Chains A and B, each alone.
Chain A
Amino acid sequence: MSNNPEKNLLEEYSQKLTFPLIALFIALFAGGLLIAWLGENPFNAFLHLFKGAFGKLSNFGETLVYVSPLILTGLSVALSFRCGLFNIGAEGQYIMGMMGAAWVGSIFTGLPAWIHIPLTMGAGVLAGFVWAAIPGFFKARYGAHEVISTIMMNYIALHFTGYLVNYVLMAPGGYLPATRVISSSAKLTRLIPPSRANTGIFFALASLILVYIFLWKTKWGFEIRAVGLNSEAARYAGINVTKNIILAMALSGSLAGLAGALQVQGIQYRFNDLFGFTGYGFDGIAVALLGNNHPAGILLSAFLFGSLNCGALQMQSVAGVPKDLIGIMQSVIVFFISADYLLRKKLERPFSIDMEEDSPGKEVQSNGTGLSH
């Protein structure tokens, strides 16, 4: 950790990078084997994967389209992890953020862009904030475990927005269930046409820096991390654990909500009926874990996953390898990181997760057994 000055910085970072890199190589190897099993040439497939992501400037632009939401959902999951919470609900918060932005983006017309753009973004952020604050409140007040409740909130978001887009906010005269197109005053500028890359990436990058400052340079962030390290000790030190749990969840949801807003403002310009989850929220879990729940790591892992997802499209169409291969490789990485837990626990004593109802008390117990090893 950066707050451990006596340690050699280089040694520290190489130690942190080793495990994710091993995981990445094994995932690539597994992916290669699967491609060979399909009867295709792995090197050719990976070449098209790479070309699809970086071959031309516009491909790179498309990669950025995938990277921006992953940065934000990754940050979202990481922020909750830092408070000892597991927000599996980034997916639902992202969906609510899209809906909030599509609504505010389309009801106002004639506003100047410098008002309408932040207003629309704010609507997405607020929707995510509320959607995550609810399970946060349930956790803090009633001890309802956030893993189950955020999963439920995901499904409720999926069907609730489905209702809205089919009954309440459906664009008049359209054949497909979709909201109105947002006003041009709420749209973000495209950067590298014909790709859909837009200024949303700057907001994602700024969020990385803001989250870093928030978590490590402010009192609020310190309190959230203290609760995440040992909530019982934090309570003893006079930190309001209840407040911090709700705050951490709500902020985590805000980031996912912002991701949804940027998707609407920069890419889709409307909310289309979803026939299933988008996957950005779930991928955020992998991004956060691979990125060690740190903004710098998240930037790298979001970039990695984003380019894999983008390149997979060309790999599928040209080399004939199903893009689902990327999901398999991601799961291999997450498997490895789950096992890395023990190692990491010794290195930096991070969050502890358990399914207990009264988690704070149990956390001490689980940390206790962990460290007695």
Chain B
Amino acid sequence: MEPGFLINVLAFIVASTFRSATPLIFASLGGVFSERSGVVNIGLEGIMLFGAFFGMLGSYLTRDPWFGVFLGMLVGALIALLHAFLAVDLRANQVVSGVAINLLATSGTAFLLQKLFHTAGQSETVPKIRDWQIPFLKDIPFLGEAVGKLNPLVYLAVVLVFLSGYFLFKTTYGLRIRAVGENPEAAETVGISVRKVRYFSVVLSGILGGLAGVYLSLGQMDMFKENMSAGKGFIALAAVIAGKWKPKGAFLACILFGFAEAMEGQFQLMGMDIPKHFLHMLPYAVTLVLILGLVGRSVAPEASGIPYEGRK
């Protein structure tokens, strides 16, 4: 093979790795915030699906995909608010409430699709978010080809990883989130409102989950398809665990999953005779192995998943 061709292929793989990782990155950042505050959000999968639907709807109604971004995030926040209400105020079983969100998302979006578009399966096409070309980056050899022209949400995802890391570990509010997730009683003793911090974190996770979904319908595609989240919310949660509840760690895990997905496309392009089923299986199998290898060394926030009963 010529070196030039090889570099092209490599650049293509890097680009598609980032493209595939982006929805996972948004959702896993959401998972980090929620779990750091002590609330398990297994409903991220469903929140993503809602985000994808309402992103499409926003773009359909205004012909402006950025309104879709806004609407998708807003609906993600509202669903998360419901989860926060159940988990924090009603001390609901967080896994069960997450299952309910996922159920609601699957049938709810299918129902809305029929009501609003009178079709099943997929919506009509809507204006999508166009790729951005980054001025200086695009002229650098290899890098320009790989990451010089991508969807703006891809760049946003990478920026958010660093912002989230900073927020969580360098700011007072970040410290509060971590304190509430580790030891809510102690946090309350020093005057932190466990309730407020958990509400904030869960809603933030919903906004990020909604954004992840918007990327699916308006970044990767230009329409909504039934069940298009296809387990990505769950993979994002696994990335949270594999990344030890840290934004950068989760980011790396997402990149790994994105790479697996990119290779899947690559194998198909090169016409290699690997059954696609094995490639589809790969991210889930990798996740399983990662979880096994990391438990023991990877420690969850102490109070994660436990409803806080208040100081007595």
Within 269-312 of B, Cβ neighbours of A (below 8 Å) are at 275, 277-278, 280-281, 284-285, 287-288, 291-292, 295-296, 298-300, 304-310, 312
Encoded as 1 (CB less than 8 Å from any A CB) or 0, chain B from 93 to 122 comes to 111110111011011101100110000100
- With beta carbons under 8 angstroms apart, the residue of A151, A156, A166, A328 that contacts B234 is A151
Asked if B97 and A335 make an inter-chain contact with CB atoms under 8 angstroms apart, the answer reads yes
Nearest CB in chain B: distance from A266 CB, A = 26
Please report the C-alpha to C-alpha distance between residue A324 and residue B95 in the assembled complex, in whole angstroms: 22
Q: Does A327 contact B (CB under 8 A)?
A: yes
Q: Does B177 contact A (CB under 8 A)?
A: no
Within 12-51 of B, Cβ neighbours of A (below 8 Å) are at 35, 40, 42
Asked if A354 and B86 make an inter-chain contact with CB atoms under 8 angstroms apart, the answer reads no
Asked if B291 and A144 make an inter-chain contact with CB atoms under 8 angstroms apart, the answer reads yes
Asked if B111 and A372 make an inter-chain contact with CB atoms under 8 angstroms apart, the answer reads no
Asked if B111 and A369 make an inter-chain contact with CB atoms under 8 angstroms apart, the answer reads no
Within 131-160 of A, Cβ neighbours of B (below 8 Å) are at 138, 142-145, 147-149, 151-153, 155-156, 159-160
Q: Does A5 contact B (CB under 8 A)?
A: no
Count of interface residues, chain B, beta-carbon cutoff 8 Å: 56
Q: How many A-B residue pairs have CB under 8 A?
A: 175
Q: Does A353 contact B (CB under 8 A)?
A: yes
Q: Does A194 contact B (CB under 8 A)?
A: no
Asked if B103 and A147 make an inter-chain contact with CB atoms under 8 angstroms apart, the answer reads no
Q: Does B130 contact A (CB under 8 A)?
A: no
Q: Given contacts A142-B292, A285-B99, is CB(A331)–CB(B108) below 8 Å?
A: yes
Q: Does A114 contact B (CB under 8 A)?
A: no
Closest to A329 in B: B107
Asked if B95 and A147 make an inter-chain contact with CB atoms under 8 angstroms apart, the answer reads yes
Asked if B292 and A144 make an inter-chain contact with CB atoms under 8 angstroms apart, the answer reads yes
Classify the secondary structure of A's interface with B.
Answer: helix
Asked if B292 and A326 make an inter-chain contact with CB atoms under 8 angstroms apart, the answer reads no
Chain A residues positioned under 8 Å from B291 (CB to CB): 138, 144-145, 148-149, 152
Q: Does A34 contact B (CB under 8 A)?
A: yes
Please report the C-alpha to C-alpha distance between residue A257 and residue B112 in the assembled complex, in whole angstroms: 33
Within 317-341 of A, Cβ neighbours of B (below 8 Å) are at 322, 324-328, 330-332, 334-335, 337-339, 341
Q: Does A356 contact B (CB under 8 A)?
A: yes
Asked if B100 and A335 make an inter-chain contact with CB atoms under 8 angstroms apart, the answer reads yes
Closest to B85 in A: A339
Chain B residues positioned under 8 Å from A149 (CB to CB): 288, 291
Q: Does A188 contact B (CB under 8 A)?
A: no
- With beta carbons under 8 angstroms apart, the residue of A322, A330, A369, A370 that contacts B110 is A322
Further contacts, 6 of them, CB under 8 A, given A148-B287, A156-B288, A327-B107: A142-B292, A152-B285, A159-B277, A354-B306, A355-B304, A369-B306
Chain B interfacial positions (CB closer than 8 Å to A): 35, 40, 42, 82, 86, 90-97, 99-101, 103-104, 106-108, 110-111, 114-115, 120, 227, 231, 234, 237-238, 241, 275, 277-278, 280-281, 284-285, 287-288, 291-292, 295-296, 298-300, 304-310, 312
